[in-house]
Amino acid sequence: MNGEANVNVNGRTLAVEVDGRGPAVLMVHGLGGTSNFYQMQADALAGRFQVIRVDSAGAGRSPVAEDISIESHAEDLAAILDELGVPSAAVVGHSAGTLAARALAARHPGKVSALALLGAVRVPSEAVRQAQRDRAAVLRERGTAAVAPGVVAGALSEATRSDRPEVAAFVRELVMRQDAEGYARNCEALAAATAPGPIDPALPLLLVTGDQDRVGPPEVSVELAAAHGNATLAILPGVGHWTALEAARRTTEHLLKFL
């Protein structure tokens, strides 16, 4: 398969986009994002890799599904690889997608050849769980327009907001174009997230985060790197949480070098 298609797995319909040939790279977006979050990285990698991007259930072009969870996202990713006939892939995850990517690596270690985490997040604290439940309620009552300004203000660095308004506009568009119910269910999935499980310490691991990231603070990536014992860590100055957009070129360079 090359191009865009709707793929049916686990009783769900997921929008999948595949570009390029070579070793597989599976890209997993975060909460409020879509596969377009990785556009620059996908374009750069497609000359050497088979780049697989998935809109998670309830996000982007993938319709709302029942029983959405971090674990169900991981199982959907495993099923997509099977459907495409890909035995294993390097997996790139962002934000909440780093939890799904870690869950995939823990549940299906043979399917993950390397792991790259952008803006990695912790399993949520009770305060974060409640904030996500509150956001879900707002989405259902008032729609995506009610939460988009907060996402832009809270997740992008001050430098990005002031100097690169086009990035702020794109993040706003990503959020505004979400299905409100699908977004709400994914907020609730993050609110219910549990520890993804252990990852093979021999698995190559890259962590890239911004020093201004307030959603996945740098210390999260530092802790994950230390726990893994053999990770590559990059902390990008002046960058907030939307790593692959705010530091598109630097993120791409780190991924190309790692892969």
State the CB neighbour count (10 A cutoff) for residue 55: 21
Give the start-to-end residue ranges of the domains of the chain.
Answer: 3-124+195-258
Contact 14, 77 (CB under 8 A): no
Q: What pLDDT is attached to residue 56?
A: 98
E-state strands within the chain: 3-9, 12-19, 24-28, 50-54, 89-94, 112-118, 205-210, 231-236
Q: What pLDDT is attached to residue 172?
A: 97
Q: What pLDDT is attached to residue 1?
A: 73
107-131: buried (b, 16+ CB within 10 Å) or exposed (e) per residue? bbbebbbbbbbbbbbbebeeebbee
Give the separation between CA 87 and CA 111, rounded to whole angstroms: 6
Assess if CATH 3.90.650.10 describes domain 3-124+195-258. no
Give the full edge-to-edge strand order of the sheet including 89-94.
3-9, 12-19, 50-54, 24-28, 89-94, 112-118, 205-210, 231-236
pLDDT tens, N- to C-terminus, the chain (259 residues): 789 999 999 999 999 999 999 999 999 999 999 999 999 999 999 999 999 999 999 999 999 999 999 999 999 999 999 999 999 999 999 999 999 999 999 999 999 999 999 999 999 999 999 999 999 999 999 999 999 999 999 999 999 999 999 999 999 999 999 999 999 999 999 999 999 999 999 999 999 999 999 999 999 999 999 999 989 999 999 999 999 999 999 999 999 999 9
Beta bridge partners of 94: 118
Q: What are phi and psi of 67, to 5 degrees?
A: 55, 50
Structure tokens at 210: 């911004």
State the CB neighbour count (10 A cutoff) for residue 222: 16
